[in-house]
């Protein structure tokens, strides 16, 4: 017999970022030189003192199950960091440590959404948001933002998207895939509407520490008094400390939500990796100069990418205030032919670019915005120089 996959998983789109990265790896394994701008993961190795803490954790025997929602040391470190950086006072019981921020988001949606509930998601959005919402039977209410608004949801757009089924708003600032950032005033205006309509807000702040000079980050929970009661903050170590493989992320939420997620996790995964949790404590409480060094490097790359996009005819992007992505408007190049092959959409554009020029990017359609391609600049300057020379050649042809 052929087993029949459940309806809910049949409807699930696999992650396009992971798929493009896998395709690039496949081509590399087959002997091609591929310039890989697909995946958003820092190319740096995890700082030595964090690896050392993992070794020490193993030697100290921290190789067993932990409390399902995470070790007290890590919850405390998370609370201390939000206090120190944003002046927010949380109880460690409000923190749930998960197997990465992606899993943390899955926990949030699972414990809060019922079938038919609507979640307002501004597009372009990170690939996993809409799919993880759909897994619960809830409905993503996608709102198209505009490049001229720096891809930010306006209060008018938010108001128009709210229905009697709306349960929450999902925000990501700095944004994957656009790099744009909401100012405290812009967040405040959205917060006022969330209060008026009694909505929850999930604020994905995983790129908080990757903010470029001239831009300021504000945690959503700080922009109006009393917002914490309706806010779920999502964060993790993957991007800040080059720890994507360690799989540690977390949420800070109202206590009853945290309790429900802890219970869910106790049935689903028991606990996040014990050794990784101790490494994450070292990341949060240890020296932070590694973060500054990585940010300095990302800043140079961001400047290079911004310059090259402006130089190539027909390409444009919004200003990147944070994170390590450029969301390139390629719409002027669609509807044209490359060596006799007509390219009508971002998927064809990205696949042809990979096929002809060996540059891996991700199609805008995967982020809910046709006419764009995302590049990750979490890769070396050399790789970026060559990649953009090839993109330039590709669009010229």
Contacts to ligand PMP by CB under 6 A: 40, 100-102, 126, 172, 176, 204, 206, 236, 238, 244, 249
How many residues of this chain interact with ligand GLU, rule: CB under 6 A? 11
By C-beta, is 17 or 346 nearer to ligand GLU? 17
Coil, strand or helix at 171: strand
- Which option in ligand PMP, ligand GLU, none does residue 101 bind, with CB closer than 5 to 8 A by kind? ligand PMP
Residue ranges of alpha helices (H) inside the chain are 7-10, 16-29, 48-59, 72-86, 101-112, 127-135, 155-161, 184-196, 255-268, 274-285, 289-311, 346-357, 381-396
Q: What is the CA 346 to chain-centroid distance, rounded?
A: 20
Q: Are 390 and 33 spatial neighbours (Cβ–Cβ below 8 Å)?
A: no
CB of 90 to ligand GLU, least distance (A): 25
Decide if residue 295 touches ligand GLU (CB under 6 A): no
User: Measured between alpha carbons, how far is 188 from 245 in angstroms, rounded to an integer?
Assistant: 35
Under 8 Å CB-to-CB from 62, ≥6 apart: which residues?
Answer: 274, 275, 278
By C-beta, is 357 or 376 nearer to ligand GLU? 376
Binds ligand GLU by CB under 6 A, chosen from 17, 99, 178, 387 = 17
> By rule CB under 6 A, what string of x and - marks binding of each residue 242-281 to ligand GLU?
----------------------------------------
Coil, strand or helix at 142: strand
CB of 100 to ligand GLU, least distance (A): 8
CB of 40 to ligand GLU, least distance (A): 3
Stretch that binds ligand GLU, among 34-42, 80-88, 142-150, 289-297 (CB under 6 A): 34-42
By C-beta, is 176 or 222 nearer to ligand GLU? 176
Residue 121: CB atoms within 10 Å: 24
Decide if residue 358 touches ligand GLU (CB under 6 A): no
Q: Which of positions 93-152 make contact with ligand GLU (CB under 6 A)?
A: 102, 126-128
| Dihedral (Cα; 283, 285, 289, 290), 10-degree rounding | 0
Coil, strand or helix at 11: coil
Contacts with ligand GLU, residue ranges (CB under 6 A): 15, 17-18, 39-41, 102, 126-128, 176
């Amino acid at each position: 017999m052929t087993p029949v996959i459940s309806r809910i998983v049949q409807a699930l789109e696999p992650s396009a970022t992971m798929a493009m990265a896998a395709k690039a790896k496949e081509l590399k394994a087959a002997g091609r030189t591929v310039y890989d701008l697909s995946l958003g993961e820092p190319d740096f190795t995890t700082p030595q003192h964090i690896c050392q803490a993992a070794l020490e954790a193993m030697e100290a025997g921290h190789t067993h199950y932990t409390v399902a929602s995470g070790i007290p040391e890590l919850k405390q470190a998370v609370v201390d960091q939000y206090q120190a950086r944003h002046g927010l006072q949380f109880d460690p019981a409000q923190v749930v440590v998960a197997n990465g921020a992606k899993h943390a988001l899955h926990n949030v949606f699972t414990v809060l959404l019922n079938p038919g509930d609507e979640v307002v998601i501004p597009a372009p959005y990170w690939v996993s948001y809409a799919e993880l919402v759909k897994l619960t039977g809830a409905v993503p209410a996608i709102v198209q933002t505009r490049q001229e608004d720096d891809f930010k949801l306006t209060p008018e757009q938010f108001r128009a998207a709210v229905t009697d089924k709306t349960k929450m708003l999902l925000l990501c600032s700095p944004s994957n895939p656009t790099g744009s950032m909401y100012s405290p005033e812009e967040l405040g205006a959205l917060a006022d509407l969330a209060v008026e309509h009694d909505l929850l807000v999930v604020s994905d702040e995983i790129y908080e520490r990757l903010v470029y000079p001239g831009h300021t980050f504000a945690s959503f929970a700080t922009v109006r008094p009393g917002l914490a009661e309706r806010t779920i903050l999502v964060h993790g170590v993957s991007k800040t400390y080059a720890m994507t493989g360690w799989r540690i992320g977390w949420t800070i939420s109202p206590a009853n939500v945290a309790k429900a997620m802890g219970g869910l996790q106790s049935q689903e995964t028991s606990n996040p990796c014990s050794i990784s949790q101790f490494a994450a404590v070292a990341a949060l409480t240890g020296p932070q100069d590694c973060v500054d060094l990585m940010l300095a490097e990302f800043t140079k790359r961001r400047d290079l990418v911004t310059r090259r996009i402006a130089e190539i005819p027909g390409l444009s992007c919004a200003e990147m205030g944070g994170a390590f992505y450029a969301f390139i408007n390629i719409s002027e190049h669609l509807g044209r032919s490359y060596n006799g092959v007509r390219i009508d959409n971002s998927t064809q554009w990205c696949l042809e670019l990979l096929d002809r020029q060996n540059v891996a990017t991700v199609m805008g359609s995967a982020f809910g915005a046709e006419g764009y391609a995302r590049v990750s600049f979490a890769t070396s300057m050399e790789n970026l120089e060559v990649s953009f020379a090839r993109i330039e050649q590709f669009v010229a042809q």
